[in-house]
Structure 1
């Protein structure tokens, strides 16, 4: 518990680390999301004020939970006439609100990622409740109006309020489903940070950093779960390339052209160690497999030196776990590195319906035609891809690539 939490760099970091545990404790005890958040905010404000002058308490988590519970009790009692259901809870002795050996962070994450919520709502609520981000911060990260994010969070909490037993312990099948949903939300947050869907920047490091932080928390709670470990390893190995993915002016630099000396070897070592530790029991899930692929890219000194046959085998295995056209698209690239661009293009042709209107399909098609020496067709593919992306660095890269090929003339 408190001793298991890594030492944060500042009081603000400490409060953010403890926020999901305090909110989870309030939700577990009272079951009212809105009032719990209000009580939590008051406790955080009290901590930020008092700790600055009086110093940190011996057990910051216990201090926060006690203060938050007192605030919650006060709020419940103030509305006791209208909310009879809370009277019995409000009259309990606050002294027993000290933290136990149970950490409610994972339960809170499961609640925020409940199947009744849309992915967009689950992402917003997770960042707010588990990540401790404010509505304005979330809106800024996704380039959305603050009112839109606030509405998503409000609607999500209203939906969760309709559940009879939101903190009921799921059975084994439900556990895997709920964990899978939670990992999917964390992965979506990371991918949006790694390559943003819209806007002037290629990546939003605040989102990818937050996704990694939250996934580390889940891994601390479930260190033996291979998919949790796989997801954390995948994030670390992917994020290790951050500094090499953009140029001096923010322009996109594709994997094959990146200066690999800029890759973060500390993150690569950590990610490799994590995923290697899960391999004794075999590759049993999609995040494990993707992390294993990322290791192969990280270990190669150049694109040409990548173990493409192993990468291809892993993508084929990944397709057996999930019928995802993006996996097939990546398999097409790996196929082209082994059997030539024509073999990759044949595989790409099977995705026209499933990936119609997406820029990545035309971008890969352009890359494969360029490999085959058909520069005019490659340029046309890049132009179509540029027209379908709303990420400025990606669009600029594709447009410039097309222009360069056209200047090269037909071959």
Structure 2
């Protein structure tokens, strides 16, 4: 196993270990679910908190041919020559605001998503002065109600894009959309959106659009809706080994392994009497004489304050629970009289093999989703990458 720490303090306070062998295995598993489609590895929000560039490289090692990002800055970082991502791997970006770095993205060869005429207008203005034609993907709002072009406005957007394509300043490379409820099996919006997507892509193609890819499948759709795979699939959270929905199944049910493990070293262990208040507001009072362990992580590190009193931690092989309020930098667990040494490892979440909690356990404790748990782990927690070499090379087991 190889290990690369992003900080010299990785072993002193806390760390988020990122197992790139697990990520590569997850990509291979997901590719098997959609054998006829190209694979886009979504690395927005710094790879869902795992580190965008290392995860993008690992995904490409496992067969991804596209990288997906939200913001232009994310896309430009992936496309940077120093990222190590091969030039033939396509990069797509879909969250634009007026005045964005259109020309920079065009000249970097990034596929730019457009959801409205205003965006196409800004893009074409930039494309006329760029050194190469823009690669443009048109996003359809098939029912999610966020980004994307409404069906009533689709003819105008398609027509304007085709006119710019005839001018030679852009190429329409994709038609795409996003599901609202693919993580809810049987939800009626799934079929409705799929029908609308087929109608909107058919309209564009009838008028002359010749896309390289059509795509709508996110993580839950990749796992459970093969009819949605089209030319390209876009797994996000599933690539990191987290189930997109407990209703659909656990990570293990889908053959996926969580990639991130968050640990900390106990900063203090002390004995206190019964009736002792713990943390702000004294929402926890010791029921009797006991020992308390101080975990040096808090909401400043991305540990959700909403999990105060419920957040699970494995210490010395036993599950403990955050006692009282989770503070900015630290929280306390009641050790029930046990006396592990300061420096003993506290495992907040991981794959679960050692009996430790998972990100889903923390999501349930905080009343949120596991996406948020992994994504919110802040940069104050060093990422430590293990198993960086691809399959067949030292370090990949």
TM range (shorter): under 0.3
Question: TM-score when scaled to structure 2?
Answer: 0.23
Question: Which one has a larger percent helix, Structure 1 or Structure 2?
Answer: 1
Higher relative contact order structure (alpha carbons within 8 Å, sequence separation ≥ 6): 2
Question: Which one has a larger percent strand, Structure 1 or Structure 2?
Answer: 2
